[in-house]
Structure 1
């Protein structure tokens, strides 16, 4: 999974997601100024701080 401000994978934060976890897709995504939280139907979630996917790292 790539979290970034642009739709393509050219710039952002890459995360390895186990295929079993990602098999059911993503339940929700919440973007805030501090970062992004991705929730999966299995109950797991990932939070990535904005400094890892916004420009100027």
Structure 2
């Protein structure tokens, strides 16, 4: 399934961490928007790793 991931994070340190994580796993389409193909389980894993 194709997912769109968007974020709005003020804190630079956290935003940098999230961006590095997503750049390794998804395609950046705008400054704070990524897209990726993943299973529901993979998305759950990503969500858990980011929280």
| TM-score normalised by length of structure 2 | 0.26
Q: Which structure carries more strand by proportion?
A: 1
Report which of the two structures shows the higher radius of gyration computed on alpha carbons.
1
| TM-score normalised by length of structure 1 | 0.25
